[in-house]
């Protein structure tokens, strides 16, 4: 049963690593967007560029509030996953798996943005050194110890689209209250 402690440690690393990643974004996003706005409009279709710039046109304080809202969601998923691993009531692994899949896939958007824009984008560094290695370690461990199955992953993957409203809500809260 010693693997439960190991799995719980891996699961509880998620909110910590999320914060490291988002610290990078918080520190960089406002200045980066101001410096690269014209490049975004040059490289992307006008409507897409307008949407991206609109979504991320916020102060550092506003973006930090948005990150806080997402962090609360990440934390809830982590608490539910921990309860699931321990066999406690109200435990759930699907939300955690879904949020973790979004986190993992999100890392590749940062890499793609950096390649497209030919610059380091907010979140790219921690995507490469934290998110991708962590995810490539976490998922096999959860599969090995039968916390999740491939079926769990396949069910959680389409559910990841449901995270979009959470992100939009987080950005709205950041802009509305700061």
What local confidence, expressed as pLDDT, does residue 40 receive?
84
- The per-residue DSSP string of 112-136 comes to HHHHHHTSPPTTHHHIIIIIHHHHH
21: CB partners within 8 A, 6+ apart = 103, 123, 126, 127, 130, 131
Q: Are 130 and 123 in contact (CB under 8 A)?
A: no
pLDDT of residue 66: 95
Q: pTM to 2 decimals?
A: 0.90
pLDDT of residue 57: 81
List, run by run, the mean pLDDT of 10-residue segments along the chain (178 residues): 82 97 94 86 84 82 95 97 94 97 96 90 95 97 95 96 92 89
How many whole angstroms separate alpha carbon 80 and alpha carbon 75?
A: 9
Predicted pLDDT of residue 53: 79
């Amino acid at each position: 049963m010693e693997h439960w402690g190991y799995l719980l440690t891996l699961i509880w690393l998620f909110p910590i690593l999320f914060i490291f990643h988002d610290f990078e974004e918080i520190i960089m996003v406002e200045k980066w967007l101001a410096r690269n706005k014209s490049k975004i409009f040059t490289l992307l279709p006008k409507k897409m560029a307008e949407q991206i710039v609109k979504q991320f046109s916020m102060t550092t304080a506003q973006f930090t509030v948005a990150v806080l809202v997402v962090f609360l969601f990440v934390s809830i998923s982590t608490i539910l996953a921990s309860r699931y691993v321990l066999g406690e009531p109200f435990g759930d692994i699907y939300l955690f798996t879904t949020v973790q899949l979004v986190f993992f896939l999100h890392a590749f958007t940062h890499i793609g943005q950096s390649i497209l824009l030919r610059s380091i984008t907010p979140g790219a560094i921690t995507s490469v050194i934290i998110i991708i290695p962590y995810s490539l370690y976490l998922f096999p461990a959860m599969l090995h110890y039968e916390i999740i199955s491939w079926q769990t992953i396949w069910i959680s993957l389409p559910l990841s689209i449901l995270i979009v409203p959470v992100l939009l809500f987080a950005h709205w809260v950041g802009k509305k209250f700061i």
